[in-house]
C-alpha cells in the first residue's frame, strides 16, 4: 500500500501513522521527522530547513522533494509506505506523481484527517515530542507518558517543539489552508481521497482509518 496522510498540523497524522504503519507493515515516512533528525545532527540540510521551520513556513521544494525521494528509494519502502507531511503543496504532489509513475507505481489512497481548528490548537498546545526520535509523540493531557517528561517508547527526554508556540502555529495553519489544502482537490480528481473524522480516542481514529482504507 502507498498512502498519503493529509490534515492540518496537530490533526494526529504522526500519532496515527505510527499505528497504521505497524498494522499495514509499511514504513512511516515523515518529512517533518526527517528534517528534525537532520537539525539535531547539524547537517547542511538541517541548517537550511531550520530557518523555514522556525518561521512556520514550508521548506523549499528544491530541498524537500529530493529528501523525500531518497527516503522512498530505501529498500524498506519498496513494497509501500505511509507518507506523513509530504506532499504539502501542488508542486510536491506533482513531483510525487512523476516519481511514482516513473517506476510504474501509483498511490492507493490519500487519507484526509478532519479536525476542527479549536481542537487542533488544543492538541498542538499540549504536544510533547522525544528528543531522541521526534516520531515519538505525546500530549500533556490526552496522551500522557507513564512518567512525566520521559518517552515511553525509548526513555528519551520529552520537550515542546519551538514551532508549536502560539504565534508560529497561527502561521502554520495559514500555510496549511493556502498551500496544503489544495492538494485534497488535486487528489479528489484522481479519486483517491478518503476523509475521516480525527476526533475521538487515538485507537478509535485508527480503527476508523483501517475501515476506510481500500
Site for ligand ADP in 6-65 (CB under 6 A): 7, 9-15, 18-19, 22, 31-32, 35, 52-53, 56-59, 64
Output the smallest distance, CB 14 to ligand ADP, in A. 3
Backbone angles phi, psi at 130, to 5 degrees: -90, 135
**Residue 2 among the catalytic residues:** no
Report how far apart, in Å, the C-alpha atoms of 59 and of each of 10, 22, 67, 114 are: 18, 28, 11, 24
State how far the Cα of 203 lies from the Cα of 15, in Å rounded to an integer.
10
**Region binding ligand ADP by CB under 6 A among candidate stretches 70-78, 95-103, 188-196, 201-209:** 201-209
The correct pick among 20, 93, 135, 183 for binding ligand ADP (CB under 6 A) is 135
Query: Among this protein's residues, is 161 annotated catalytic?
Result: yes
Crossing angle for the helix pair 61-72 and 44-54, nearest 10 degrees?
120
Q: Tell which positions 139-158 bind ligand ADP, by CB under 6 A.
A: 139, 142-143, 152-153
Distance CA 6, CA 86 (A): 8
Nearest-angstrom CA–CA distance, 168 and 91: 23
Q: Report how far apart, in Å, the C-alpha atoms of 86 and of each of 81, 90, 139, 159, 166 are.
A: 12, 11, 23, 24, 23
Inter-residue contact 31 to 67 (CB < 8 Å): yes
- Considering the complex, what minimum distance in angstroms separates the CB of residue 152 from ligand ADP? 6
Residue whose beta carbon is closest to ligand ADP: 32
Torsion of CA 200, 132, 112, 83, to 10 degrees: -150
Q: 172 a known binding residue? A: yes
| Numbered residues of the known binding site for AMP | 31, 36, 57-59, 85-88, 92, 161, 172
| Numbered residues of the known binding site | 10-15, 31, 36, 57-59, 85-88, 92, 127, 137-138, 161, 172, 200
Residues near ligand ADP (CB under 6 A) are 7, 9-15, 18-19, 22, 31-32, 35, 52-53, 56-59, 64, 85-86, 88, 92, 123, 126-127, 135-139, 142-143, 152-153, 163, 172, 200-202, 205
Catalytically active residues are 13, 88, 127, 161, 172
Amino acid at each position: 500500500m502507498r498512502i498519503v496522510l493529509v490534515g492540518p498540523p496537530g490533526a494526529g497524522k504522526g500519532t496515527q501513522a505510527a499505528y497504521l504503519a505497524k498494522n499495514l507493515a509499511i514504513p512511516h515516512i515523515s518529512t517533518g521527522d526527517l528534517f528534525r533528525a537532520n537539525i539535531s545532527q547539524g547537517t547542511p540540510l538541517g541548517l537550511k530547513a531550520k530557518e523555514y521551520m522556525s518561521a512556520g513556513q514550508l521548506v523549499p521544494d528544491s530541498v524537500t522533494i529530493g529528501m523525500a525521494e531518497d527516503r522512498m528509494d530505501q529498500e524498506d519502502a519498496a513494497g509501500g509506505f505511509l507518507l506523513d507531511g509530504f506532499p504539502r503543496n501542488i508542486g510536491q504532489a506533482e513531483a510525487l506523481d512523476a516519481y511514482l509513475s516513473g517506476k510504474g507505481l501509483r498511490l492507493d489512497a490519500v487519507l484526509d484527517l478532519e479536525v476542527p481548528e479549536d481542537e487542533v490548537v488544543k492538541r498542538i498546545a499540549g504536544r510533547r515530542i522525544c528528543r531522541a526520535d521526534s516520531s515519538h509523540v505525546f500530549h500533556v493531557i490526552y496522551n500522557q507518558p507513564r512518567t512525566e517528561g520521559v518517552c515511553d517508547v525509548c526513555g528519551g527526554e520529552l520537550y515542546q517543539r519551538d514551532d508549536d508556540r502560539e504565534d508560529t502555529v497561527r502561521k502554520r495553519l495559514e500555510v496549511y489552508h493556502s498551500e496544503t489544502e489544495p492538494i485534497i482537490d488535486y487528489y479528489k480528481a484522481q479519486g483517491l481521497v478518503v476523509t475521516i473524522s480525527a476526533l475521538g480516542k487515538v485507537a478509535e481514529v485508527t480503527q476508523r482509518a483501517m475501515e476506510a482504507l481500500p
